[in-house]
Amino acid sequence: MIQLAMDRYLAIGDYQGLLNITIWMLVLVVVQIVVQYYLTYLSDWLGQHVVRDLRVQLYTYTTQLRISFYNKTPVGRLVTRNISDTETLADVFSQGLAALLGDILQLVAMAAFMVYIDWKLAFLSLATLPLLFLSTHLFKEKLKDAIQEVRDVVTKLNAFVQSRVTGMSIIQTFSREAQESENFKALNEMHRKASNKSALYYAFYFPALEIIRAIGISLLIWYGTRGVIQEHVTLGKLTAFLMYLKMFFRPLYHLAERFNTLQMGIVSTDKIVKLLENKEQVENKGTYRPERLGGEVAFDHVWFAYAGKDYVLKDVTFHIQAQQSLAIVGATGAGKSTIINLLERFYDPQQGNITIDGVNVLDYDIRALRQNIGLVLQDVFLFSTSIYENITLGNRDIPKERVIEAAQLVGIHDFIQRLPGGYDYNVQERGMTLSMGQRQLLSFARVLVYSPCILILDEATASMDTETEELIQKATAQLLQSRTAIIIAHRLSTIQHADKIIVLEHGEVKEEGTHESLLAQNGYYAELYNVQYQVA
């Protein structure tokens, strides 16, 4: 349009025609502004929707992975995948992909117009394209490696910070602050060096573009001015081509940023896909969904190993009638907690069968199975939210009356009432504002509101003082009469009234019976009892 303005109207002094074409140019500018607005808004809208869906899918997927996956995967790595890597993909859709397609279309359209107007001038203007493509290809490949290195270091940084912040009490207890600061400094230096590599490639690429553009402009001016003098090229055409050449290189500068965004997106996508493709999901092929279990539990010649043939459980067999209590004792590493993990289907046995109410646990829908099993661990985990949310775990179907009733039953209601905000009191990170005994009592209340058919206590009173332990014993004694209970404990005082006790040694059931019958056998259980109570 500037070419038309100069050659058709300005050259002959047609001011009305010049005014008309100027108005048309202003109209096009307004149209461009409106289109750019919608492009920016819709691109960002698309990116945020993609990330929202991907983030939900990724989080849902991670909740279905085996516990063994979390035992060997740093939390910081999973946080990076779900937050940073998915955010990078948002940039791909909002700033990278759509914008890159727009830049490429703009380049193609301008090249087509230039050839249409004057193919000789177009050839001269675009004669440097091979150099341009070569430098862009080299830049893209080098940048990809640099960004891969940056993302790897970012993952390590996240994992390092997360683990050290979580274990800060240990670091301070052993006076490791200075050493950990040096370790973090080393990781941070790795990040700086990796980032400097990408900055170095940009420092080479942009000057290279300037040189290539200068060569193209020089060729165009050299040939174009000769054409103007010889009157086979108009001044308007030469001006238009100079503007085209300037506009042609503008998207190329943007392409460098687009490539950066796309390369980061490719790296993040690769990491997310690797997470989604791992084979550590719990197989939930069961379809049996009873509303409530009876509670009869049986292990039939069960063998299990966490790795290879190093069996933790060896031919374990036992049976519990519904609403009976079973206590499991044994040395550390004997396989006590492994039995609980198998019953909850955190792992599956290599040999043998585990049944509840005569149905193999593999035939149960996992959600239905776990809803009927209540688990209280020695190491209680509380979320950084209110006491009410920690007891209900966000289940809005549980009325507050049931929460209060459970808290009263375990003897912690009065304590909660004395806290600022009562049940709305925020327990902070991992419940650090509460004592160990108070956290244990909250975990009991958490289990009781869900009213499970099977109650598992895995060293649940090991960290409590005598007064708190007696409080829980009184609160749970009546409840255990109507539920199947599996109790793991080192203190034999907590299991003497169990209907059945099994003694594990190196993954094998060595003794089985009641407290009195095991003492009469004068075996491992009797020896353990004598040591604890110093019986001569």
Neighbours of 414 (CB within 10 A): 9
What is the model's pLDDT at position 469? 65
Could you read off the pLDDT tens digit of each residue along the chain, which spans 536 residues?
A: 888 888 787 877 788 888 888 899 999 999 999 998 888 888 788 878 888 888 888 888 888 787 777 777 777 778 778 887 887 777 777 766 777 777 888 888 888 888 888 888 888 877 888 888 888 778 877 877 787 788 788 888 888 887 787 777 778 777 788 888 888 899 899 889 888 888 888 888 888 888 888 888 888 888 888 777 777 778 888 888 888 888 887 777 777 667 777 777 777 788 888 887 777 777 788 888 888 888 899 999 999 998 888 899 999 999 999 988 899 998 888 888 899 889 988 888 999 999 999 999 999 998 888 888 888 887 788 888 888 888 888 888 888 888 888 888 888 888 888 888 888 888 877 667 787 778 888 888 888 888 888 988 887 665 566 666 666 666 566 566 678 989 887 777 778 888 899 999 888 999 999 989 988 888 888 888 887 776 54
Give me the residue spans of the domains in the chain.
2-276, 286-372+457-472+485-536
Q: How far is CA 469 from CA 98, 167, 362, 403, 477, in A?
A: 63, 27, 35, 21, 12
User: Do the Cβ atoms of 94 and 48 come closer than 8 Å?
Assistant: yes
The CATH number that domain 2-276 falls under is 1.20.1560.10
Q: What is the DSSP-derived secondary structure letter of residue 297?
A: E
What is the model's pLDDT at position 217? 82
Name 64's Cβ contacts closer than 8 Å, sequence gap at least 6.
Answer: 281, 282, 284
Paired strand residues for 500: 326
Name the residue among 177, 152, 157, 155 with its Cα closest to residue 167. Answer: 177
Rg (CA), the chain: 36
What is the model's pLDDT at position 477? 66
The CATH number that domain 286-372+457-472+485-536 falls under is 3.40.50.300
Q: What is the DSSP-derived secondary structure letter of residue 85?
A: I
Neighbours of 126 (CB within 10 A): 20
Q: How many helices (H) and strands (E) does the chain have?
A: 20, 10
Q: How far is CA 35 from CA 27, 31, 270, 491, in A?
A: 12, 6, 33, 74
